[in-house]
Structure 1
Amino acid sequence: MNMTKAKRGVQRALSPKRDRADLEQNWRLRLYGRISGGQVESYLAMLNEIWSGRSKMFDGLSEQQLKNGVTKLAEIPNWVGFYQLSLVQLIAYMLVESGFKDELLRAAQSDDPISVVTSLIESLPEEAPEGSKAIPAAFAMIGNLDSISRYSRSINDLLRDAREKQDVGAIFKALSVDSYISTLPAIQVVMRMGQMAGDGSFAEVVFKAIRGPHKKRQVYETLRWAEYLLRDQGAFLACSQDDIHDLIVNRLHLYDDDTKKKDSKKALFMLFRKWQKEAGN
């Protein structure tokens, strides 16, 4: 599979041809930075579907079903490598691995690529094709969504900050949402060195992080994903607060309007500034 060519096709498919009149009448075609309203809507639908599956994964299972589930999950290849992809790249990768490569490439030639991509997202199969890497990619997606809903940064962001900014705390934040991060060679080496030296202090910090972040950190999941997508794609630099408020409140219905919340725009952007500060922006 030529992933580079496929990714270029995905990028073209997700960059709609825009007519000025359509932009005024159809918010889905309007660009917010490098992302359209329709893309935000479609991506959030996909992310919510994945998140819903994560939430129901272990609901109502018997002890035997849990054992069978563990056996099945243990067969899934390690997904840590997928954290090298940005959130948008991972979405595109999952569509390709779910068998939609040709459809995505054809969408690049469509007059309405947003509708095409939206229908593809809605058509994602319950079971991934044989030999597909969509399942480990989905687990990486769950980790990223968990991370954004708690820290306003994806695991990709956290690992990059640890690598480029020497932000050791970012590693432990990543560990707190996905214990598989502990399989990274650098972490394993430090743990083994401590084991050999009889110093378990690093391992203790790792295992403490793996217990997970405080539950109160997880609020407004879908809104945080929307804010992240818009921030990641430059919307806050390219658009006015009125434009973004209109998208979030009136189009996507992710936050209360002025009839339910006093000065909705001010309250919304106070939340956004809080999250952006957490992310180091």
Structure 2
Amino acid sequence: MSTYTIDTATSRATPSPAPMKRLTVPALRDRKGKEPIVALTAYTMRMAQLLDPHCDLLLVGDSLGQVIYGLPSTIPVSLDMMCAHGAAVVRGSWHALVAVDMPFGAYEASPAQAFESASRVLKETGCAAVKLEGGEAMAETVAFLTARGIPVIGHVGLTPQAVNALGGYGARGKGNAEHAQIIDDARAIAAAGAFSIVVEGVIETVANEVTAAVSCPVIGIGASAECDGQILVIDDMLGMFERTPRFVKRYDDLATRVGAAAAAYADEVRRRAFPTADQTYRAK
């Protein structure tokens, strides 16, 4: 449940939430091998409202560092940022399960540090789960969190927070050793109690093997249509940026449409064609 209630009579935050039960962690876990899970990232209340009726999972990704703040990577993202945006997305949704990324530096030091960070995220946002990157090395942390009532989504393959160690954002799993390691990472995280795993930027055969190797749902991004679900960064699939990763399908070209609307507005302002009588107040 959200901590705050929005007055839809006076706020731009419309439409009013439709009465329906929010999806739960057990419900999503049970989707393994069944109807694919539909997931998208969301960072704001209004976008959450628009996406919520169509999605099973809304992920408040640390990709907000690049998408919202213009940072060069996800590494500078703070826990404060994730909590603020996570709370906004929870307030704007009423159907999808909301999960929040744990930012770099908030969980790697120890399971105790991870619990402190994750419990803060759940308390301040009202979300249902956290997501963290890493394979076998993070299995102990995943087990620690799940044993204490914090649902966890894992993340293997291309892990953006490890971009410096990986040497870039190229697809993973091309070599036999790396291929095997990704499978082992997924198995370790699933065995530790993750209720779902994101597999990102891997060779298709690797994604298929990961999906078959674990009992929890595998959500792909740049992976395979055979995964148990798919996720994309919302701004990428809406065409908000000139450059998008190869694995993204653009479902719209909002950047062009926003630019055209701004150009039309600028033209009318300069010609004094806006505002008109319809947009001004006059004494009766």
Specify which structure has the bigger relative contact order, considering alpha-carbon pairs within 8 angstroms and separated by 6 or more residues: 1
User: Fold-level match, TM-score > 0.5?
Assistant: no
Q: Which has the higher helix share?
A: 1
Query: Shorter-normalised TM-score: what interval?
Result: under 0.3
Give the TM-score, by structure 1 length: 0.26
Q: Which has the higher strand share?
A: 2
Give the TM-score, by structure 2 length: 0.26
